[in-house]
Structure formats: structure tokens, C-alpha cells
Amino acid sequence: MRKKLIYLFILGALVIGLTGCGGKDSKATSTGTNTSSGTNTNNSKTQQKTSSDLEKKIKSSGAVTDSGKLVVFATNGNDVAVDMKIEVEFYDANGTIVGSDSDDLRAVGAKSEIAVEMWSTPEAFDNYKIYVDVEQTKEISYFDKLELVHNNNGNEIAVQAKNNSDDTIEFISVSVVYYQGDKVVGYDDGIQSDIKPGRSANFTLNFPYNREYDNVNFDNYKVFITEAYKYNW
């Protein structure tokens, strides 16, 4: 999710800029009542679960695309949204580590599956180990408030994620995994920010390619929501 880091950097810069502007002070107020139409906020009515309990219901697997990148699939089998830290270690045939990579996801929805690409997958490796650490999210998850539609238009996969909540969703990210039969052959992802109620995040996701950047044939694909949340400030 390297694209997400760019958005976070820009958002942070905007916040700092606004803080330095003159004018009247703006103070946030709270009535103590959560009116969000999202799910799984970290309030007093939500019983916190330990990370060890949550991790018992996390499943993960991996597959290597034709471009040589590892795609990690992770399923949150819990009934609450979780923050995920995915770490992968890569090894050669002798068991010597040859590389590693990690990714962080916020507010992965309850009973949801995500797919992320390990950008720093080494050129050559023989096996790998996947670790997924989780904790109950403090943010507001909107996985169950998105209406997802997609279409293969012949040049790319057009994806639309409509915000059916009453809130502006700060981040929505999606990914597409391409298949040839049962084999994973490709991956792409995208991110959008500040999607207003009733509006849609729109994505165009690229077709797969191999290590030589030649197009790869596929006969099926699956679109995943990987993040949909706003900060619970």
C-alpha cells in the first residue's frame, strides 16, 4: 500500500498548514454519543478483545504472480474490525533469509478477506513465512457500507465503490487479483480519499504483466476492499 503513504504524507502537510493559518480558533466538540453509520468503533459499548484472541481467527496464504511479486491473502474471521500488520520473510533453499517486506492495514472489516502485494519481494527465493499481527481497531470501519461494482472494459478493470454511509470516508483502497484457472497471475491496487456520503471512489486497475512487462493472459479476476475507514478522533 505504498500509494497510501503518499496520501498520508499529503494529509499531514495539509493539517500542519491549516494549524499555522491565522483566524479564529476551531475547537472540536463531542456530545459523547457516537452517531457514525460505520461499524466497530472503539467506544465503551464495544468490548475490547486481546490480540491473541483476535489472531486465532486470522487466516493467511500467499501466491506469486507472473511479475514475481508475492500476494498475501488474509481473512479476518472476527466479528470486529482489526488493524493488521503483515510481515513476510523470504528464504533460499538453504533456509537463509534473502529479503523481507511488511504492510499495515487499518480497520479491516469483520468477516472480510483482503489481498495485498509485497512490493519488495526479492528477485529469487525458494520459500517464505507470513506473519499477521492484529489488534482491535480504534478507527471506524466502513467495509459493510460500500457498494462495490466492477467491469472489465477491455483495457483495465474499472471499479466503483459507493459510500452508502452518512459519513465522509477518509480512505478507501481496493485491489484486484488476476487468475488463469486457479493460478494467481497478477495484481494491482488503488486508493482514494475523502469520499462523501452517496458518492463513489472510482479506480482503474491495470491488467497483469510478467517480469519482462509483457501482458499476461487471465480468464478471471477478483476485486477486494482492503481499507475503508475514517479516524475516530
Looking at residue 208, the DSSP 8-state letter turns out to be P
Given a cut of 70, is residue 45 above it in pLDDT? no
**Buried/exposed 50-79: b ≥16 CB within 10 Å, e otherwise:** eeeebbebbeeebbbbbbebbbbbbbbebe
Going by pLDDT thresholds of 50, 70 and 90, the confidence category of residue 23 is very low
Mean pLDDT of the chain: 86
Going by pLDDT thresholds of 50, 70 and 90, the confidence category of residue 49 is confident
Beta bridge partners of residue 173, listed in sequence order: 191, 227
Going by pLDDT thresholds of 50, 70 and 90, the confidence category of residue 30 is very low
Give the domain ranges of the chain: 43-230
Which residues have CB under 8 Å from 220's CB, separation 6+? 178, 179, 180
Distances in whole angstroms, Cα of residue 26 to Cα of each of 22, 149, 178, 194: 11, 39, 47, 20
Given a cut of 80, is residue 16 above it in pLDDT? no
Q: Which helix (H) or strand (E) holds 115?
A: strand 112-118
Can you list the alpha helix ranges (DSSP code H) found in the chain?
2-20, 51-55
The span from the CA of 227 to the CA of 83, in Å, is 10
Question: pTM to 2 decimals?
Answer: 0.81
φ, ψ dihedrals at 13, nearest 5°: -65, -40
pLDDT of residue 130: 98
Q: What is the pLDDT of residues 54-76, one digit of tens each?
A: 999 999 999 999 999 999 999 99
Given a cut of 80, is residue 28 above it in pLDDT? no
Given a cut of 80, is residue 189 above it in pLDDT? yes
Residue 17 or residue 47, greater confidence: 47
Given a cut of 60, is residue 44 above it in pLDDT? no
User: Which residue, chain included where needed, has cell 525458494?
Assistant: 126
Q: What is the pLDDT of residues 99-111, one digit of tens each?
A: 999 999 999 999 9
SS3 177: strand
